[in-house]
Amino acid sequence: MIKKLVSDKLQIIISDYFKSKGLDEKIKYSLEIPPKNIDADFALNAAMLAAKPLKKNPKIIAQEISDIILKEMSDIIDKTAIAGAGFINLYVKDLILFKELQKILIQKDKYASVSQNNKEKILVEFVSANPTGPLHIGHGRGAAIGDSLARVLKYLGYAVSKEYYLNDCGNQMLVLGQSTKIRYQQLKGGKIDFPSDHYQGDYINDIAKNLAAQNKNIDEIDFKEEAVKDILSGIKNDLNDFGVDFDIWFSESDIAVKKDNSGKTEVDKICQDFENMKFAYMQDGALWLKSTQFGDDKDRVLRRSDGRYTYLASDAAYHKNKFERGFTKLINLLGADHHGYIARLKACAQMLGHSKDDLDVVLYQLVSLMRDGQPAAMSTRTGEFITLKEVVDEAGKDACRFFFLLRAPDSQLEFDIELAKKQSNENPVFYVQYVNARCNSILRESKKRADLKEDVDLTLLNTKEERDLIKRLCSFYSMLSLCDKTLSPHHITAYLMELADSYHRFYEARRVLTDDADLSSARLKLISAVMIIIKNGLTLAGVSVPDQMYK
């Protein structure tokens, strides 16, 4: 929260300074936490950006701004220093750090949270895997990203709902039903060849065996419905074991199959709406969407010449339904192979009267599972895939969720399952969890001391290691704001590992329980704050916070 405090004050100062010089105050300067080798709390680049339009040496501008900062922010900033080509390094007063540390100790799991944010009603749609087979680890990454992002947004006060879109219509469902039926017939002694383009995983055999055990007449069985029901039940169980739950399960059939009193589906109606609004046209017997009017590289087919609707038609109706349910901000998580789909979805949103910014799409790369140095292949149709359940059962939920959040969504991710299973500091999630366990151990040991105090003097925390640790704790809100801004929760794991680094440097340099009761009491408060922030961060990542670690 300290960065926000400093930033809010600086915004007024810099704006007034720019105005006094006749500059456009929209110059996009930044206030950043400098690299570890720079001994400063914050670095400001406003002077460098103003140098060219002012035709003035940036160091002179930096000095002018520094003088104003020291005058107007004397209650917050202890000193400034001009570095490099005109950076202004800022040093926060220790008292500000101690006040923020006290706030962490008081607010605990509410620290840096926002009670209510009425700006947006957000729907985060993620996973949405077709019910044609079990979830694989690629789906797991999408589940971890989507769920943690939703947790962060809720923590920041937004009204957030999580939704799974169930694609239970179309040819793939027919193939699924037919695949199950053929396996069923084979179990009953039928000599039927299994088509190579059908779903061949063992799970299809399992569904057929369950149906065969019911001894129903083949004409009584809706193989598609039974297969979807069985697979969806498995998906829900796997997600539950992964710590992911959804507020809404939305079925495509509700918009693509269900008809109103006029005999039309939601897909029928939106295509008609687009025609009426002149956003769609007929050509060669097909209905085309004028998506190029809104930035797409070409127009897209909504309804084929044979009368079949495309995925885009269903998605247009689906997103219209989302907005009609009162959501003001839509966030979709899609695999990276859907990159070309973003422009057409945003085009549909704009045709429906919304801003293109009312819809955000987060693309994420799939996961390469490394086992014995070799990647494992994944294909739902051939059955040669690694399921999410298999990986969670082997490495554990905590490791899987933490590892899936180690990189930005659009970055490739190699999941080293052997590393994920290690009970050592080489394993990132173990490294972070161990901080909490070690702090707990110290607190348990402290209970043997009768001279320790509850009312402590935090100003005793005056070493570099202690100050650095407090600064890292106080940057929790800045990390959450970055998650919000970038729609990526990978900043959580990066932050937690940096916090763990700071804690270990402190722990190795400074004893917590010393002969000095006042100092020991103060340091116990510091590690209590560490535990609070570690717990808050791991909870947002969907990872447990064990009090003890076992090897």
pLDDT, tens only, 486-498: 999 999 999 999 9
> What burial class does residue 299 get, using C-beta atoms within 10 Å of its C-beta: 0-12 exposed, 13-18 middle, 19+ buried?
middle
Within a domain: 342: no
Provide the pLDDT for residue 25.
Answer: 66
Asked if residue 217 belongs to a domain, the reply is no
Report whether pLDDT(50) > 90: yes
Which residue has 């992911």 as its token pair?
Answer: 244
Give the tens place of pLDDT for each residue, 436-464: 999 999 999 999 999 999 999 999 999 99
| pLDDT score of 35 | 87
Q: 319, 373, 364, 322: which is closest to 346 by C-alpha?
A: 319
In a domain, 219, yes or no: no
Q: How confident is the model at residue 120 (pLDDT cuts 50, 70, 90)?
A: confident
Pick from 549, 461, 543, 534: which is nearest to 111 by CA?
534
E strand or H helix at 53: helix 46-54
Q: pLDDT confidence of 376, banded at 50, 70, 90?
A: low
Considering 37, 62, 92, which residue would you say is the last residue of a domain? 92
Euclidean distance between CA atoms 252 and 340, whole angstroms: 21
- The domain tally of the chain equals 2
What are 487's two structure tokens?
A: 């729609």
Q: Of 92, 121, 140, which one is at a domain's C-terminal end?
A: 92
Query: Rounded to an integer, what distance in angstroms lies between the CA atom of residue 36 and that of residue 513?
Result: 28
CA distance 437 to 253: 48
Question: What is the per-residue pLDDT for 297?
Answer: 93
For range 226-254, the mean pLDDT: 97
| pLDDT value at residue 523 | 98
Alpha carbon distance 103, 445 (integer Å): 25
To 5 degrees, how large is the angle CA 166–CA 172–CA 176? 95
Q: Indicate the pLDDT class of residue 348, thresholds 50, 70 and 90.
A: very high
**26 belongs to a structural domain:** yes
Give the DSSP H/E element, type plus range, for residue 390.
Answer: helix 388-395
DSSP state of 372: T
Average pLDDT, the chain: 94
Any domain includes 438: yes
pLDDT band at 514 (very low <50, low <70, confident <90, very high): very high
Predicted confidence (pLDDT) per residue in 149-196, tens digit: 999 999 999 999 999 999 999 899 999 999 999 999 999 999 999 999
Tell me: pLDDT of 8 over 80: yes
* Structure confidence at residue 263 (pLDDT): 95
The reported pLDDT for the residue numbered 383 is 55
Phi-psi region of 383 (alpha: psi -120 to 50; beta: other; left: phi over 0): left
Question: Which CATH number is 475's domain given?
Answer: 1.10.730.10
- Asked if the structure places residue 264 within a domain, the reply is no
Judged on CB neighbours under 10 Å (0-12, 13-18, 19+), 326 is exposed
Residue type, 185: Q
End-to-end CA separation in angstroms for the chain: 37
> CA-CA distance, 337 to 62, in Å (whole number)?
46
| Residue 498 Ramachandran class (φ > 0 left, ψ -120 to 50 alpha, else beta) | alpha
**Of 92, 109, 141, which one is at a domain's C-terminal end?**
92
Question: Could you report the per-residue pLDDT of 52-75, keeping only the tens digit for each?
Answer: 999 999 999 999 999 999 999 999
Secondary structure in 3-state letters for 456-512: CCHHHCCCHHHHHHHHHHHCHHHHHHHHHHHCCCHHHHHHHHHHHHHHHHHHHHCCC
**Predicted confidence (pLDDT) at residue 267 exceeds the cutoff of 70:** yes
Domain housing 498: 423-540
Q: What is the pLDDT of residue 180?
A: 96
The answer to the question of residue 444 being in a domain is: yes
Tell me the per-residue pLDDT of 524-543, one tens digit each, with 9 for 90 and over: 999 999 999 999 999 999 99
Residue 106: CB atoms within 10 A of its CB come to: 10
- Residue 16's domain is classified under what CATH number? 3.30.1360.70
CB 212, CB 226: distance < 8 Å: no
Residue 464 resides in a domain: yes
